[in-house]
Amino acid sequence: MSKKWLSFIAVIVLLPAVTLFAMVTGSIDITYTELLMNFFNENHENIGIIKDLRFPRIIIAIFAGAALSVSGVLLQAVMRNPLAEPGIIGVSAGSSFFTLLILAFYPSLFFYTPLFAFIGGMIAFFIVYSLSWKSSLHPLRMILIGVAINALFTGLGQTIGITNASSMINSVQTDMSTLTMKTWSDVNIIVIYGSIGLLLAYLLFGWCNHLSLKDKTLHNLGFPVNRARLFIAIVAVLLASIATAVAGMFTFVGLLIPHIGRNLVGTNHKLLIPFSALAGGLLILIADTLGRTLLAPIEIPASIIMAVIGGPFLIFVLRKSGKLYGN
Amino acid sequence: MEIKDLTFSYDKQKRLLHKITAHIPKGKITTIIGPNGSGKSTLLQLLTNNLKTQAGQIIIEGHALQQLKQKQLAQMLSVVHQHNMAPEDMTVESLVYYGRLPYKKAFTSYKEEDEEIVDWAIEAVGLSNWKKKLLHTLSGGQQQRAWLAMAIAQKTPYMFLDEPTSALDIYYQYDILQLVNRLNKKEQLTTVMVLHDMNQALQFSDYIIAMKDGELVTFGPPEEVMTEAYIKEIYGIDVILHEDDRVGKFIVPLKQM
């Protein structure tokens, strides 16, 4: 059997297995049989608590991971740069800043936060894109501009965090993510918008594949390069902003997973997008589960676990990035 | 294809092309020559609509080039660019399928006809045995053949080649040019290419467009354009032009004493 299918089978088996493990692990003890036997039993005391405390964060972790990884895949296709990632180039920071802005000054618009997160993400994306376009998306220049935009929006977000003591702001972290205190209404938002985004992303796999050729070549094949880029970018920002609005900032997942994905299932986006969704969900779920079990009862935020894995990995990718798209 | 008073510049200070008027004859091979910075690549990019015409006109098959939709144009002319780029795990066949993109509606799959044309194109460039091979495992010359197959799979009456022999060794330079020549004769494919080598231009062209400093020096059949006087004017070098029974005319630059 080929490496591609083995990789798919691995994530398809591991995802429910880790989900189950995450469900039974934590301060309330419950066995696998107890959980499975009483799954739909509303009256079972512990099951009810677990459903309200653990299930939302598990679902959110999976969807946030899937959304961020696929967002990374799409941005990498649009920018033709294996280092493009919503966290690194400031899309997540833009989303986060706009979310905080709304919470601080117009708390009544709370339910529209996904929309504002999306607008913030788009603004950050267009600044980076238009500034690095001049250098024909030179990888290093794009990363430098991204770092600058990321720093700007992270700083602005933190300023709001410091100057506003409202409890809602405190619950939304400015520069890290904890998946504690998530409710079923958070789950609804990320499941609805996340699913739409993931579905749209999958439908765009053909366009993502086309973008691996040069613009000139595509132009002379009658392919609307710029329109395709814009569509794909919108979906990428939608995915990143929804994940950021609900789960907070995660860097590196959108870098790590697509890179591993390309090695395992190849560059065809028809396989790369679904694989990245599954593997990304699995990775954040593992990070979150590790974070809350390693030093229990102290919780290490999942984003910190991700940063610790992601940092060294970025160095690894930078050293190899020349080879990714070949010639 | 008609080119009338074509002018192009990025900024007012530096004029890249000035009032170029030429004619590209149907079914023939036309070569654009000139030193670096003469505007030959700019002209090719304008003719293939990768740069927008600022003044003047390009007429293809009776249509103004600018007025054509991108997809319509892709059904009229194909281009093999320089420094092409494809993912590492792309096969020859999947690359050649891109040639059918101008005929495909979004979110539909390729038809049987497309499959036949792709097979024909791969056969025509002699890559049938490499059809399922990964592009990057092929030699430079074979890769160039694959890009050529993609272009002819577009089934256009015009084909443009931007320095098709650059970065190839001498064997593959002639291999590609002979292939281009065969395709031109067999398929009546009007071919326009940019070449650096004077002898190759002399051997493989029906017409030559000679450029210098963004202006047209002369336009015509090789024996009229490739004279010692014109070459001195275009490239600024002294040459001798000889004739041989087997190769016809050939050019040898003189060493300055």
Residues B176-211 have pLDDT tens digits of 999 999 999 999 999 999 999 999 999 999 999 999
Question: What region, left, alpha or beta, does residue B121 occupy, with left being phi > 0 and alpha being psi -120 to 50 degrees?
Answer: alpha
Q: How far is CA B127 from CA A49, A252, B141, B155, B170, in A?
A: 65, 42, 11, 18, 20
For residue B35, count other CB atoms closer than 10 A to its CB.
14
A206 interfacial to chain B (CB closer than 8 Å): yes
A245-275 in b/e form (b: 16+ CB < 10 A) is bbbbbbbbbbbbbbbbbbebbbbbbebbbbb
Element holding B177 (H helix, E strand): helix B170-187
Distance in angstroms between the alpha carbons of the first and the last residue of chain B: 44
Give pLDDT tens digits for B70-84: 999 999 999 999 989
* CB count in 10 Å sphere of residue B34: 24
pLDDT the model gives residue B31: 96
List the one residue out of B183, B155, B143, B151 whose CA is nearest residue A216.
B151
What is the pTM assigned to this prediction?
0.88
Number of other residues whose CB lies within 10 A of the CB of residue A51: 15
When pLDDT is averaged across residues B123-139 and rounded to a whole number, the result is: 94
Q: Is B102's Cβ below 8 Å from some Cβ in A?
A: yes
- The closest alpha carbon to A71, from A57, A52, A85, belongs to A85
List chain A pLDDT tens, one digit each, 327 residues.
688 899 999 999 999 999 999 988 877 777 777 777 777 776 777 777 778 888 888 999 999 999 999 999 999 999 888 888 898 889 999 998 998 888 888 878 877 888 999 999 999 999 988 888 776 667 678 888 988 999 999 889 888 877 776 555 555 554 455 677 778 888 888 999 999 999 999 999 999 999 999 989 999 999 998 899 989 999 999 999 999 888 888 878 898 899 989 988 999 999 999 999 999 999 999 999 988 888 877 888 888 888 888 778 767 766 765 554 443
In this complex, the residue of A203, A223, A327 whose CB is nearest that of residue B101 is: A223
Question: What's the whole-number mean pLDDT along residues B216-225?
Answer: 93
Cross-chain Cβ contact B87/A327 below 8 Å: no
User: Running DSSP on this structure, what letter comes out for residue B14?
Assistant: S
Alpha-carbon distance of B56 to B6, in angstroms, equals: 4
Structure confidence at residue A28 (pLDDT): 76
Looking at residue B206, what is its pLDDT? 96
Report the C-alpha gap between A303 and A177 in whole angstroms. Answer: 5
Q: Which of B73, B74, B89 sits opposite A266 (nearest CB)?
A: B89
Residue A186: predicted pLDDT: 84
What's the DSSP call for residue A323? Answer: G
Q: How far does A203 lie from chain B, in Å, by closest CA?
A: 8
Contact call for B85 and A219, based on CB within 8 A: no
Mean pLDDT of chain B: 92
- The predicted structure's pLDDT at residue A327: 31
Q: Taking CB atoms and an 8 Å cutoff, what residues of chain B touch A220?
A: 48-50, 73-74, 77-79, 81
Nearest CA in chain B to A224: B70
Contact status, residue A250 vs residue A302, Cβ threshold 8 Å: yes
d(CA B93, CA A15): 35
Q: CB distance from A266 to chain B under 8 Å?
A: yes
CA dist list (Å): B175 to A144, A195, B101, B119, B182: 44, 52, 27, 20, 11
Is B181 at the interface with chain A, CB within 8 A? Answer: no
- Give the integer Cα–Cα distance in Å for A227 and B96: 23
The count of CB pairs under 8 A between chains A and B is 73
**Residue A165's pLDDT is what?**
63
DSSP state of A117: H
Q: Strand B190-194 vs strand B158-162: parallel, antiparallel, or unpaired? A: parallel
With residue B124 as reference, give the H or E element that holds it: helix B112-124
Q: What is the predicted pLDDT for the residue at A192? A: 93
- Tokens 């059949």 -> residue: B221
**CA angle in degrees (0–180, nearest 5) for A235-A95-A260:** 55
Closest CA relative to residue B206, chosen from B40, B1, B28, B33 = B28
DSSP assignment of A248-304? ----SHHHHHHHHHHHHH-S-HHHHHHHHHHHHHHHHHHHHHHHHHTTTTS---HHH
Smallest Cβ–Cβ distance between B87 and the set A219, A223, A267 belongs to A267
CB of B136 within 8 Å of a chain A CB? The answer is: yes
Does residue B175 surpass a pLDDT of 90?
yes
